Structure 1
């Protein structure tokens, strides 16, 4: 490990966070741009900064609102950085934070906003997936992410031997956490295990509650230097390490992947995350894992070494282990995409930061290492590890 490899560690921090309310898909009265601007202004207020001082913009998942347009609408004094992460939907959620951190750490910008907004009225459905459903898939009736992830999940269950109970436990944990989160769509709507078991198939082996919701909403977080972060209103959530991309035999390979049941986090990528942060998987306090569907989320936890492969996955993936405050592997502590709300996983960033601040609706005691996993089973995936002052 060279000094260059660790130059990223703790150089930047998230200082402002915000989600707008999660509206049922297609019901928002605001455009995606309006929702995005609302979230950015709320994040700026959270950080205690003037929104005009934001000089960088990053989004992902083919967001309809270019950074230059958002910056102009805000009346930014200067736009020094504007970029979009390629690679499908949730695969860019952590990568967007990494891109913002890279811009700040390299001096290209001072205060970068990461954002994502969806309003079906103007953004439509599945705008993020354009170009990712090639003719080999569509020619055989595969038109939706649920179908692709179902194929991979079925292989994980049948060939790898991961028990279906692992998926159920993840969903139960999400709904459990949502009951303590008044902002969650599933707040006040606990999930009875029997209801989960009896729910209709969406694409076997994925049932209704295995699938993420879609909402009209937006989110924003602000990234700045560690030095400035210490002077602002909120407790900084330092970016310790970040990885993104696609390994060999992945990316836009149209289902020819040898590692077919992987979430896409290949071993070299995982090793870089831990090496860059200088920590081990067992030291992580809490995980926010992108669950477009429950099966891929389980695969992410396996890829990162939190959960053993095969039948032994069921030993760790149990409801009691996955819930805050005292589970051994608390996950999706605000409800996640499945039970809090879905804006391509943006709420997972916000909750990862809340855990470091100590303000989560399901707080893990003294959380110092909070991991965000984005993807999974997308053409590109990513991860970001946040830390508190205690681990710098």
Structure 2
């Protein structure tokens, strides 16, 4: 059974990004605001939503959210496990599976965060075992720095690839008034002067930490035609587990992969009916630039080794002139970070044409989740032309 064309995103909703601990409402209140915004965008009565899906230990349970919204009947409620941003694609795939099998008709995928309630990095709890802590590794940036350093030293990916990804996000954020880094451009000199957080990752290689919420609303492809606006159809998606992940956490192979291993990538292109050369725009989850570059290499958008630097240039990654535009709202680095919901929204907006930096006539939009986490994923959204 293929999910190609089985469902479409018809609504997008989002709160502003708030500085950590300054959000005016609870996590549940922020999520409800984003869901209501998505329902208005789609022209759907929020009481008709019958499914909910999220990831990363989101504390807003679908059952509670359904009650708050006055949902008439709750038919689906799920949470994708895995820590990190790798759960974003699995949560969307759960929604698509529910719609494709008739388990639900109208499913919202959401992520909200208010760190005054939940603390910092609540989704990382339980993912740093004693083998890590005994060696002073206590945060995601440290584990991702280990693998990024190996990618630079052994795989010979040049540091300029990381720099270009960061600069592209900040470049696009200057056209996005909702971005946290709007009005705060970043150039190569400032990037290189920024302090090291965990070598080789610098301050501007690291994502923001914000409060807020975002949501997308999915229905069947047939029903999408009767909603407001232009649908973004689901062409395909994969999720998976990094081989070797477990108690000996740093022994998985290949060590510098983002986790999108060849069988997953082959399945993504085969089942979606498009190829890597058909991708018009990409949103890659970059809590840190190193894993994001690894994800781009994994799926074949960027060559491995020194040649990565020839593709990963600022000019090539920007909408105006690039062949590989990415993170076109600013990404987690410059737009804002609520556990990656922003790049999900932007992947959809590129197909709908309402991105702050639209790629002309975009037909295929790629979303890459990660990063180097227990579970990773990739998803393709497309226009009606891409389904033809």
Give the secondary-structure state (helix, strand or coil) at the position aligned to 2:250.
coil
Say whether residues 1:100 and 2:85 are aligned partners.
Answer: no
Deviating above 3 A after TM superposition, structure 1's stretches of 4 or more consecutive aligned residues are 250-253
TM-score for the superposition, normalised by structure 1: 0.97
After TM superposition, list the pairs within 5 Å mapping 1:1-392 onto structure 2. 4=1, 7-250=2-245, 253-392=248-387
Give the secondary-structure state (helix, strand or coil) at the position aligned to 1:14.
strand
Determine if contact 1:165/1:314 at 8 Å carries over to the other structure: yes
CA displacement 1:114-141 (0-9 Å, x = unmatched): 0100001111111101111010001111
Task: Return the offset for 1:374.
Answer: 0.6
Determine if contact 1:250/1:264 at 8 Å carries over to the other structure: no
For residues 318 and 61 of structure 2, the distance between their equivalents in structure 1, rounded to whole angstroms, comes to 37
What residue ranges of structure 1 are gaps of 5+ in the alignment?
Answer: none
Determine if contact 2:285/2:371 at 8 Å carries over to the other structure: yes
Determine if contact 2:242/2:252 at 8 Å carries over to the other structure: no
For residues 320 and 107 of structure 2, the distance between their equivalents in structure 1, rounded to whole angstroms, comes to 32
Task: Return the offset for 1:193.
Answer: 1.5
Determine if contact 1:244/1:380 at 8 Å carries over to the other structure: yes
For residues 298 and 232 of structure 2, the distance between their equivalents in structure 1, rounded to whole angstroms, comes to 25
TM-score for the superposition, normalised by structure 2: 0.98
Task: Return the offset for 1:251.
Answer: 5.9
Further displaced range: 318-327 or 144-153: 318-327
Task: Return the offset for 1:247.
Answer: 4.2
Closer, same or farther in 2 for the Cα pair 1:264/1:253, shift >3 Å?
Answer: farther
Task: Return the offset for 1:89.
Answer: 2.1
For residues 164 and 247 of structure 2, the distance between their equivalents in structure 1, rounded to whole angstroms, comes to 31
CA displacement 1:33-63 (0-9 Å, x = unmatched): 1100000000000000100110000000000
CA displacement 1:210-236 (0-9 Å, x = unmatched): 000010100011011001101100101
Closer, same or farther in 2 for the Cα pair 1:22/1:251, shift >3 Å?
Answer: farther
Q: What is the aligned residue count?
A: 387
Give the secondary-structure state (helix, strand or coil) at the position aligned to 2:9.
strand
Task: Return the offset for 1:326.
Answer: 3.3
Give the secondary-structure state (helix, strand or coil) at the position aligned to 2:94.
helix
Task: Return the offset for 1:94.
Answer: 1.4
Determine if contact 1:251/1:380 at 8 Å carries over to the other structure: no
Determine if contact 1:95/1:384 at 8 Å carries over to the other structure: no
Task: Return the offset for 1:250.
Answer: 3.5
Closer, same or farther in 2 for the Cα pair 1:144/1:56, shift >3 Å?
Answer: same
For residues 312 and 339 of structure 2, the distance between their equivalents in structure 1, rounded to whole angstroms, comes to 24
What residue ranges of structure 2 are gaps of 5+ in the alignment?
Answer: none
RMSD value, Cα: 0.9
Task: Return the offset for 1:205.
Answer: 0.3
